[in-house]
């Protein structure tokens, strides 16, 4: 299987964490969407041009980070970390926290992060204000949940693969140290080899982007 991704893309990191947790072998294909030529070449593979993308050995395209994780969980059910519980209610809990992480953390984090990199006359202050408000609301909700839970949905799951990447970026974009349970959860995530591997690929590129 080929895995198209970029080390600093949060949705790529989410799927990459899952591949590593499951111990799935894959052929990495790094895509640089900042390069117009690379973007055109990638859109010939996947017209929507979004990463991550898994391409199965028979050429079937498997886009969308959550769908990729569901696929590898089903395909490699017996190996590595189980990322979706078998109990229906527990599985729905993992899926809804996955949606929470994408919608309440990852999307608004991206809005704030990328807006800050735009020229001043192309910025969207109202949209950024809304994004901060969404993150604050999400953090309060998450912090209350983590007061009683080690991971987002029972055992470590799909949902934790989703939450880990935006939490890394939010440390700088919208610091959350006042949310003690989220901070402790972020430290627990740092104990997972999958997260450390994802970070070790991303950090040098991020540091170079931010000017060291």
Ligand X SMILES: N[C@@H](CCC(=O)N[C@@H](CS)C(=O)NCC(=O)O)C(=O)O
Residue window 97-116: x/- pattern of binding to ligand X, with contact defined by CB under 6 A: --------------------
Distance CA 77, CA 196 (A): 23
Distance CA 130, CA 115 (A): 12
Q: Restricting to residues 66-85, which ones interact with ligand X according to CB under 6 A? A: 66
Options 38, 46, 64, 151; binder of ligand X; rule CB under 6 A: 64
Q: Which residue is associated with the tokens 């202050």? A: 125
Nearer residue to ligand X within complex by CB, 5 or 179: 5
CB of 106 to ligand X, least distance (A): 8
Encode 44-62: b = buried (16+ Cβ within 10 Å), e = exposed: eebeeebbbbbbeeeeeeb
CB of 133 to ligand X, least distance (A): 21
Which residues on neighbouring strands pair with residue 62, listed in sequence order? 54
Please work out, in degrees rounded to the nearest 5, the angle formed at the alpha carbon of residue 204 by the alpha carbons of 162 and 106.
20
Q: Decide: is 49 part of the binding site for ligand X (CB under 6 A).
A: yes
CB of 158 to ligand X, least distance (A): 12
CB of 184 to ligand X, least distance (A): 26
Query: Cα 131 vs. chain centroid, distance in angstroms?
Result: 17
Piece in contact with ligand X (CB under 6 A), picked from 60-68, 91-99, 134-142, 147-155:
60-68
Distance CA 5, CA 83 (A): 20
Furthest-apart CA atoms within the chain: distance in Å: 52
Nearer residue to ligand X within complex by CB, 70 or 143: 70
Q: Decide: is 162 part of the binding site for ligand X (CB under 6 A).
A: no
Piece in contact with ligand X (CB under 6 A), picked from 62-70, 81-89, 179-187, 193-201:
62-70
Q: Which residue is associated with the tokens 């934790």? A: 160
Options 1, 3, 7, 9; binder of ligand X; rule CB under 6 A: 9
């Amino acid at each position: 299987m080929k895995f198209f991704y970029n080390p600093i893309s949060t949705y790529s990191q989410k799927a990459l964490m899952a591949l590593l947790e499951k111990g799935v072998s894959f052929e990495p294909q790094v895509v640089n969407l900042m390069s117009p030529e690379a973007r055109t070449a990638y859109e010939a593979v996947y017209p929507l041009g979004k990463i991550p993308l898994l391409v199965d050995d028979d050429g079937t395209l498997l886009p969308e980070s959550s769908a990729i994780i569901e696929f590898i969980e089903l395909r490699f059910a017996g190996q590595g970390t189980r990322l979706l519980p078998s109990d229906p209610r527990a599985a729905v809990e993992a899926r809804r926290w996955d949606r929470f992480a994408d919608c309440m953390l990852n999307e608004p984090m991206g809005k704030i992060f990328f807006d800050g990199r735009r020229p001043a006359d192309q910025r969207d202050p109202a949209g950024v204000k809304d994004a901060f408000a969404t993150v604050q609301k999400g953090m309060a909700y998450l912090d209350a949940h983590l007061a009683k839970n080690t991971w987002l949905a029972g055992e470590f799951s799909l949902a934790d693969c989703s939450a880990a990447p935006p939490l890394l970026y939010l440390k700088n974009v919208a610091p959350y140290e006042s949310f003690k349970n989220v901070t402790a959860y972020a430290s627990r995530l740092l104990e997972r080899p999958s997260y450390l591997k994802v970070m070790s690929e991303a950090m040098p590129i991020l540091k170079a982007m931010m000017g060291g």
